[in-house]
Structure 1
Amino acid sequence: MKKKGSYLNLEVAFQQAAEKFARLDPAAAARQAGCTYHSEGCLEVPFLNQDYRVDPASGKAYLGGSEAPLYHNIILLHYLVTADGTPLTGEWISYRHLPGGEIYMEPFQRRAVIPFLQAFGYQPELFEQAALSLGGYRAPMGKPGMVVPVLPRVPLAFVLWPGDDEFAPTANILFDARAASYLPTEDYAHLPALALGAMKASLQR
């Protein structure tokens, strides 16, 4: 995906993804993505701890009866089109090690890691609280590190080493070693920002 706002043209990106999805068997796509296919013909996809419904005929996604934001809709379609059912490994890799990730490292740092540090670098307790609100759980690294299940088979590990009076905070965001089986690499440069937005919103409720 191009950066949010310029994104080639969100409508074009949506149409391309919707056309690809319409050619798939929706029941098979649901199985491979780890989501639910309902008899009336829609797919139910948990995304950032909310249940979206996707209509295979139109490609449109809905949340609570309203159309989902187009940007979220595109991510959901990319997920359903890309998912191949490969089991996750539980091994964590950096963005750099995703296919072609080296090319997007600067945008990834700017859009994902730096905003993570700005939001929670000195507030590890709030970070943990916010991640838990999205169904997150402890990661085996970081102080703290939290795994957020953004999509059924797309966990993100947000790893924080908080700052103090002497040291600046540091952070990273890691991906399952089979992440490429579920989304294109460029989408992973944007996904953490959506998760961070949901985390921050949870603290306002």
Structure 2
Amino acid sequence: MNIDYGKDNKERIPYEHYLAEFRKLNPQEAAQRTGIPWHEETQEFEMHMMQKRFLIKWPECTIRKADPEEHGYGAMEDGIPPKIMVMRYLTRGVSSTGSGNFLTYREVPHGEVYFRQFQGRCMMRLAFGYGSNLSLFHAQMEKIGAKKLDMGDAAYEFEFLDKYFVRFILWAGDDEFPPSSQILFSDNFPLSFETEDLAVVGDISINTLKKI
């Protein structure tokens, strides 16, 4: 996967920082801590992101689909941000299972501080991208194998990373009110990710829907 720093230079420094951490990783320890399979013979981790399996090469963090015959766009093919998420999880994350409860962005630690940015960057983008076209939302969510929920006017749950789940909920707009949305995170997210990471989760997820 080629990285085009020219598109967004501000990603270069965090990318290089996490890549340096990733290179120092003990892959067997990371596999035990996160529950992510490690293939010693190929020196690769095997992870899911948005219903598809990918292989992450250590120590260079190149990424390929686990099934070379699989067609269609995958979330880890979205440039630098997914690679940073993967490296952050493998270097700092833990295997965990949510209790079944979901959190709003405001409910995660320090979420109130960053909520306005998250609202504009993710919630409004989701609402105005699909609130007037629920049929497209249904079609794209079903393409990634998301689970339909009886919430709002349209809602789905999907596994973003192994055991870490996200819910997208939409309310359609009308003549009086604009469309709106809610994004929920399984309550194990704060065990492995910082609050700012959740905006990247939203970005990657919405980008993937638009590109599939």
Find out whether 1:158 has 2:161 as its counterpart. no
Q: 2:44 touches 2:57 (CA, 8 Å); kept in 1?
A: yes
Once the two structures are TM-superposed, the CA of residue 140 in structure 1 deviates from its matched residue by 4.7
Aligned match of 2:89: 79
* RMSD (CA atoms): 2.3
Find out whether 1:194 has 2:195 as its counterpart. no
Aligned match of 1:47: 49
Q: Closer, same or farther in 2 for the Cα pair 1:6/1:92, shift >3 Å?
A: farther
CA–CA distance in structure 2, aligned partners of residues 93 and 53 of structure 1: 29
CA–CA distance in structure 2, aligned partners of residues 30 and 159 of structure 1: 33
Aligned match of 2:63: 62
Which 4+ residue blocks in structure 1 deviate beyond 6 angstroms? none
1:102 to 108, 112, 133: 112
Aligned match of 1:15: 16
Amino acid at match of 2:116: E
Find out whether 1:130 has 2:133 as its counterpart. no
CA–CA distance in structure 2, aligned partners of residues 112 and 158 of structure 1: 10
Q: 2:168 touches 2:181 (CA, 8 Å); kept in 1?
A: yes
CA–CA distance in structure 2, aligned partners of residues 120 and 34 of structure 1: 35
Once the two structures are TM-superposed, the CA of residue 23 in structure 1 deviates from its matched residue by 4.0
TM-score by length of 2: 0.81
Q: 2:164 touches 2:188 (CA, 8 Å); kept in 1?
A: no
Deviation string 1:132-181 (CA, Å, 9 cap, x unpaired) is 21221123532211112121122110011112344322211011112112
Q: 1:153 touches 1:182 (CA, 8 Å); kept in 2?
A: no
1:5 to 8, 12, 20: 8
CA–CA distance in structure 2, aligned partners of residues 100 and 126 of structure 1: 33
Unaligned runs of 5+ in 2: 1-6, 69-75
CA–CA distance in structure 2, aligned partners of residues 100 and 5 of structure 1: 26
CA–CA distance in structure 2, aligned partners of residues 117 and 134 of structure 1: 19
Unaligned runs of 5+ in 1: none
CA–CA distance in structure 2, aligned partners of residues 187 and 145 of structure 1: 22
TM-score by length of 1: 0.83
Deviation string 1:101-146 (CA, Å, 9 cap, x unpaired) is 1121111011100110111112222112111212211235322111
Amino acid at match of 1:104: Y
Percent identity at matched positions?
24
* Residues matched between the structures, number: 195
Q: Closer, same or farther in 2 for the Cα pair 1:23/1:88, shift >3 Å?
A: farther
Deviation string 1:40-71 (CA, Å, 9 cap, x unpaired) is 2210112233333222323x131259x95222
